[in-house]
Amino acid sequence: MLAGGAALALSQSLPADAEAAYGDIPPLKSVTPYPLGVATSATKVSDPAWSALAARQFSRLTAEWEMKMEYVLQADGSLKLDRADKMVAFARRNGMTVHGHTLIWYAQDGEYFQKLSAKPDAFLNAYVDYIAGVMGRYKGVIPSWDVVNEPIWNDGRGLRPCLWQKVLGDDYIGLALEAAHRADPQALLFINDYNLELTPKKRATFLKLIETLLKNGAPLHGIGTQTHIDAGITPGLIRSAIADIASLGLKVHISELDISLREDHPTPVAQPRIDQVRTLNELLEAYQDVPANQRYGLTMWALRDSDSWLNTPQGGKSLIPDEPVLFDRLGRPKPLAQAFVNAVK
């Protein structure tokens, strides 16, 4: 049962028919045999309707943006973690864990590091200090981190060029993992990337990177698959990808799941939703085949359709809103949520 205040907030936020629909499924976290996460922000955890629904349905939080360097690192090298603190506090109040996302990303470096780029020793010290500063604040509180995000070109040609690689060389990933392990030796460390299902060449390059890191003794414990996919993805691609990724023996985190309906379909309007359920079923069945000790969990990359990055300009917002997650814009469980329950039970 929800605590009184949370239940009241939820009931006041939804019309009566939505409340009835809401009662049609059990709390998703109660039927899922592994941790079930959702992406969030400091603004969302302050919203009563969002908070009540998330706390009822999910057991883990991932910050969508506010633990990334673009927000955290200031021009003078200081760290701004006020919003991260707020999300962590919400999680702890509601018996949820937090997955840290993300420390090093090719797309964000910041003025502070750019100024140090001609001084490799100072740059490396700052690199290590940044990782230690962020992780150290949450040592013993955040049990896992995406240490490096999206290191591989989408076409699989190799590592993406970035400031980290330019100054530190290809070993910037290994250096980040070592720094993260020193900062919190108990934390599980992940590398996270996307389109591993859709692009076999990228997946092969990514897994070769992982194998090289492990061979070199890097403290790496898991792989995040993101899994931003279209409803019409070719059947079998997801199953093959999950099997390949799991074959390395590391933990596997379905880390940013959404299933977009936006892809053009020549079939009638109902077909994308049918494909969406089929795709979700394939994913959940493939994940169930992963050994239990490797299933680190599944994280939805939004609570409600209206929260999804796919309905922002960054995600290609269009006149027709996308519907990529389990709950509609009012927080009502969609048929996709019922399909989720049926598949994981």
The predicted-structure confidence for 28-86, as pLDDT tens digits, reads as follows 999 999 999 999 999 999 999 999 999 999 999 999 999 999 999 999 999 999 999 99
Compute the average pLDDT of residues 123-129. Answer: 98
pTM of the full structure: 0.91
Confidence of residue 16 (pLDDT cuts 50, 70, 90): very low
The whole-number pLDDT of residue 318 equals: 65
Which are the contacts of 244, defined by CB distance < 8 A and separation ≥ 6? 203, 207
Q: Which domains does the chain have, with CATH numbers?
A: 4-344 (3.20.20.80)
* Residue among 261, 260, 174, 172 at smallest CA distance from 210: 174
The predicted-structure confidence for 149-187, as pLDDT tens digits, reads as follows 999 999 999 999 999 999 999 999 999 999 999 999 999
Among the options 150, 178, 256, 323, which is catalytic? Answer: 256
> Average per-residue pLDDT in the chain?
92
The whole-number pLDDT of residue 18 equals: 41
Q: Are 285 and 339 in contact (CB under 8 A)?
A: no
Confidence of residue 270 (pLDDT cuts 50, 70, 90): low
Confidence of residue 345 (pLDDT cuts 50, 70, 90): confident
The whole-number pLDDT of residue 22 equals: 45
Helix, strand, coil share of the chain (percent; to 5): 45, 15, 35
Distance CA 253, CA 251 (A): 7
The whole-number pLDDT of residue 316 equals: 62
Compute the average pLDDT of residues 101-125. Answer: 97
C-alpha of 298 from chain center? 8
- How open is the CA angle 298-309-78, to the nearest 5 degrees? 85
Q: What is the dihedral of CA 13, 19, 24, 29, to 10 degrees?
A: 30
Active site residue 66: no
The whole-number pLDDT of residue 271 equals: 78
